[in-house]
């Protein structure tokens, strides 16, 4: 199934009535962010909406709403990210393109939480000394890298950037040295990259969803998680690490230094 990721803030400036595809999925956990609402209003097709708030402005713009559960989330939407992965898997399955066992993704999250909750304090302490953090992955893990770069910025105030593995090799890794840290998702090409980065003095934190040999700095899920399910485990691992780093930095996760009054519509 062909699919393209379009930023809602960009879509809100597209021509009125533009139809980007046979189906459109609009994601807004709060249901009150102006950009996805504006995008849904502009497009010439009613979208499928994924949201945590059924009684929200974005839900009113759709005939098909996939609820995340109505839970109270952290200020950086940690539950919302993993449950959105579940919702997307459920939509794909309903569309005849199963990409994961949606019902089993919660089990993957529980395994990752049991493996890493409270177990990464020493890693966080080392990461706290770094000036910046690059987050790198390929395939499904590229999406994880993108999401986790925002997670660390918002929750720990650490400067971050995300990169696709192969593109990272083309030059973006050049600044890495003793003051830098790199979080690598995967153990394919990433393993050789990790050795180079360690030789340059960078802190390397690796994560693989496949059990195996323990390389320096490598963390592995205790039970294999393939493909899309692995993205859930990666997200939980990163959330555990970000939580430990935020605590070290005395950061109240979800309390922002630069609050804005126009990023949510009033209730």
Confirm whether 267 is domain-assigned.
no
Residue 179 lies in a domain: yes
Q: What pLDDT is attached to residue 216?
A: 87
169 and 197 fall within a common domain:
yes
Domain assignment present for 208: yes
Rounded Cα–Cα distance for residues 178 and 201 (Å): 4
Predicted model pTM: 0.94
pLDDT, averaged across the chain: 95
CB 186 within 8 A of CB 208: yes
User: Residue 266: inside a domain, yes or no?
Assistant: no
CATH number of the domain bearing residue 37 = 3.40.50.10490
pLDDT, one tens digit per residue, over 199-209 is: 999 999 999 99
Name the pairing type of β-strands 180-185 and 203-208.
Answer: parallel
Residue 190's closest CA among 179, 204, 180?
204
Is there a domain that residue 261 lies in?
A: no
Asked if residue 210 and residue 114 are part of one domain, the reply reads yes
Residues 56 and 135 in one domain: no
* Residue 212 covered by a domain: yes
Is residue 12 very low, low, confident or very high in pLDDT (cuts 50, 70, 90)? confident
pLDDT in tens, 104-163: 999 999 999 999 999 999 999 999 999 999 999 999 999 999 999 999 999 999 999 999
Examine the domain organization and report whether 157 and 177 are in the same domain.
Answer: yes
Taking 90 as the threshold, does the pLDDT of residue 13 lie above it? no
Last residue of a domain, one of 101, 122, 142: 101
Assign residue 86 a region (left: φ > 0; alpha: ψ between -120 and 50; beta: otherwise).
Answer: alpha
Of 75, 101, 127, the last residue of a domain is 101
Tell me how many domains the chain contains.
Answer: 2
pLDDT band at 171 (very low <50, low <70, confident <90, very high): very high
pLDDT at 197 over 80: yes
Contacts for 95 with CB less than 8 Å, ≥ 6 apart? 1, 23
Which H/E stretch holds residue 167? helix 165-169
User: Does position 215 have pLDDT exceeding 90, yes or no?
Assistant: no
Residue 33: what pLDDT? 95
109 and 89: one domain?
Answer: no
Q: What φ, ψ does residue 189 adopt, rounded to 5°?
A: -60, -20
Same domain membership, residue 118 and residue 235: yes
Task: Based on the fold, state whether residues 128 and 36 are members of the same structural domain.
Answer: no
Q: Does 131 lie in the same domain as 219?
A: yes
Q: Give the bridge partners for 103, in sequence order.
A: none
Give the pLDDT of residue 40: 94
Examine residue 56 and state whether it is found in any structural domain, yes or no: yes
Range of the domain at 73: 8-101
pLDDT in tens, 72-86: 999 999 999 999 999
């Amino acid at each position: 199934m062909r699919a393209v990721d379009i930023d809602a803030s960009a879509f809100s400036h597209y021509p009125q009535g533009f139809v980007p595809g046979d189906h459109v999925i609009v994601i807004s956990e709060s249901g009150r962010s102006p950009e996805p609402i504006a995008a849904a209003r502009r497009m010439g097709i009613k979208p499928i909406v994924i949201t945590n708030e059924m009684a929200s402005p974005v839900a009113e713009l759709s005939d098909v709403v996939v609820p995340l559960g109505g839970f109270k989330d952290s200020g950086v939407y940690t539950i919302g990210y993993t449950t959105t992965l579940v919702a997307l898997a459920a939509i794909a399955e309903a569309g005849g393109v199963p990409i994961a066992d949606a019902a089993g993704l919660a089990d993957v999250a529980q395994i990752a939480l049991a493996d890493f909750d409270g177990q990464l304090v020493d890693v966080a302490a080392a990461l706290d000394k770094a000036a910046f953090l690059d987050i790198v992955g390929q395939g499904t893990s590229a999406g994880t890298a993108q999401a986790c770069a925002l997670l660390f910025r918002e929750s720990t105030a650490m400067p971050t950037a995300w990169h696709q593995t192969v593109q990272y090799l083309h030059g973006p890794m050049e600044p890495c040295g003793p003051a830098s840290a790199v979080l690598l998702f995967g153990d394919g090409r990433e393993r050789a990259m990790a050795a180079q980065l360690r030789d340059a003095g960078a802190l390397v934190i690796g994560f693989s969803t496949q059990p195996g040999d323990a390389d320096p700095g490598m963390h592995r899920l205790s039970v294999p998680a393939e493909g899309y399910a692995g993205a859930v485990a990666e997200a939980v691992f990163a959330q555990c690490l970000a939580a430990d780093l935020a605590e070290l930095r005395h950061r109240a996760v979800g309390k922002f230094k630069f609050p804005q009054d126009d990023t949510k519509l009033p209730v």
